[in-house]
């Protein structure tokens, strides 16, 4: 069985293809085109225009990569939410058209849950997931039929904070990888607000402080270094507490910010120190990607899940009934 997945919740338009072999699901293509800017951030309508412009090309690339034809596909899945309305609509329209043309069943999946499920391909059985992406920052674990959110950001996602600070410095979008490079030259740790409230975090005050330090012309590398150390430590603290409370001894990383080698290192050290196992998928499956949408699509389709074709921009992780586990 082959499933084609369409991802379009934010900056990335991507198509993934997965094939089920006996007891294993193999990802046979994961092609994407990412909206970027030299200056400024993401404007939702411009992002949607980008997706409409590149969708046919990305599809072609994915089919070529997997060396299959459209009629060999058994089912199509798409990212139904959460995400930016115009971006979601662009992906939805593309997926609906494709399903009609090829006469294949269509299934909407939750974007955040797909970040979780793809993480389990690393070998983790029942992990706590640290999901650190552009718009979402959540610490999640499976309990009694749902992926429960044990902690989350009370304001913006951690990636958005990095991107906002980057935009303020004139770095363009996405800024996370550029901040990571700058941080490598940082030497002095500047004290920033450290905002953990119970199991939740917030970043707004930290961003304001960093902007003020930038205006005061403090060393940019030192600010980036201090920003990373502070906000990553907050996530590691809450993840560790979630592991302690749930008694789970595995941690999986997900989301684009998990591409950051310092965040990976901090999580690995925390796991080592408490005798837990650390897992992190390849970077291509951390950022938004169609592969994870196809992967979850196939699992849900086999479990008999059916959906409508309405976009769900505010669909939360813990609203999904996990009937396939
Ligand atoms: P996602 O929304 O999961 O696709 O992730 C996109 C976010 O990840 C953006 O906010 C990027 O700035 C951020 N990001 C990507 N690579 C890195 C990195 N190496 N370090 C920090 N943030 C990153
Ligand atoms: Mg994402």
Q: What is the pLDDT of residues 100-111, one digit of tens each?
A: 999 999 999 999
Atom of ligand 1 nearest to the CA of 133: 3
**Whole-angstrom distance, CA of residue 126 vs CA of residue 171:** 38
Write down the domain spans for the chain: 2-116+285-319, 125-281
Residues with CB under 6 A from ligand 1: 10, 12, 133-134, 159, 162-163, 174-177, 180, 255-257, 259-260, 287-288
Mean pLDDT on 308-315: 98
Distance 303 CA to ligand 2 centre (A): 23
Percentage of the chain beyond pLDDT 90 is: 94
Determine the pLDDT at residue 325: 87
Radius of gyration of the chain from its Cα atoms, rounded to whole angstroms: 19
- Model confidence, pTM: 0.93
Average pLDDT of the residues of the chain? 96
Residue 40 above 80 pLDDT?
Answer: no
Q: Tell me the pLDDT tens digit for each residue of 257-302.
A: 999 999 999 999 999 999 999 999 999 999 999 999 999 999 999 9
Distance 200 CA to ligand 1 centre (A): 20
Determine the pLDDT at residue 22: 85
**Whole-angstrom distance, CA of residue 29 vs CA of residue 319:** 29
Q: Where are the alpha helices (DSSP H) in 67-203?
A: 85-102, 111-119, 158-168, 176-183
CATH of the domain spanning 2-116+285-319, picked from 3.30.70.270, 3.60.150.10, 1.10.3720.10, 3.30.420.40: 3.30.420.40
125-281 and 2-116+285-319 share a CATH fold: yes
Closest by alpha carbon to 232, among 178, 269, 279, 272? 269
CA distances from 150 to 128, 129, 198, 201, 244 (A): 9, 10, 10, 11, 12
Distance 111 CA to ligand 2 centre (A): 7
Distance 60 CA to ligand 2 centre (A): 23
Determine the pLDDT at residue 291: 98
Which CATH number is 125-281 given?
Answer: 3.30.420.40
């Amino acid at each position: 069985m082959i499933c084609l997945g369409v991802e379009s919740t934010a900056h990335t338009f991507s198509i993934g293809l997965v094939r089920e072999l006996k007891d294993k699901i193999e990802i046979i293509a994961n092609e994407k085109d990412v909206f970027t800017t030299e200056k400024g951030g993401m404007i939702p309508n411009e992002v949607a225009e980008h997706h409409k412009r590149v969708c046919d090309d990305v599809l072609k690339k994915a089919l070529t990569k997997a060396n299959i034809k459209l009629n060999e596909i058994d089912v199509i899945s798409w990212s139904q939410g959460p995400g930016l309305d115009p971006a979601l609509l662009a992906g939805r329209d593309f997926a609906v058209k494709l399903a009609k043309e090829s006469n294949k069943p269509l299934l909407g999946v939750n974007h955040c849950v797909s970040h979780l499920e793809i993480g389990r391909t690393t070998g983790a059985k029942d992990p706590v997931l640290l999901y650190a992406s552009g718009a979402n920052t959540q610490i999640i674990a499976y309990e009694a039929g749902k992926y429960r959110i044990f902690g989350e950001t009370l304001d913006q996602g951690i990636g958005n904070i990095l991107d906002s600070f980057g935009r303020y410095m004139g770095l363009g979008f996405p800024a996370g990888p550029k901040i990571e490079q700058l941080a490598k030259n940082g030497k002095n740790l500047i004290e920033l607000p450290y905002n953990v409230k119970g199991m939740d975090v917030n970043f707004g005050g930290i961003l304001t402080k960093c902007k003020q330090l930038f205006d005061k012309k403090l060393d940019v590398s030192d600010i980036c270094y201090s920003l990373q150390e502070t906000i990553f430590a907050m996530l590691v603290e809450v993840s560790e507490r979630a592991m302690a409370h749930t008694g789970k001894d595995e941690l999986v990383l997900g989301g684009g910010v998990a591409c950051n080698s310092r965040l990976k290192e901090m999580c690995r050290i925390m796991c080592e120190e408490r005798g837990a196992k650390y897992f992190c998928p390849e970077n291509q499956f951390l950022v938004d990607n169609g592969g994870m949408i196809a992967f979850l699509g196939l699992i849900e389709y086999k479990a008999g899940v059916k959906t409508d074709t309405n976009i769900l921009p505010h669909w939360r992780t813990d609203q999904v009934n996990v009937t396939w586990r």
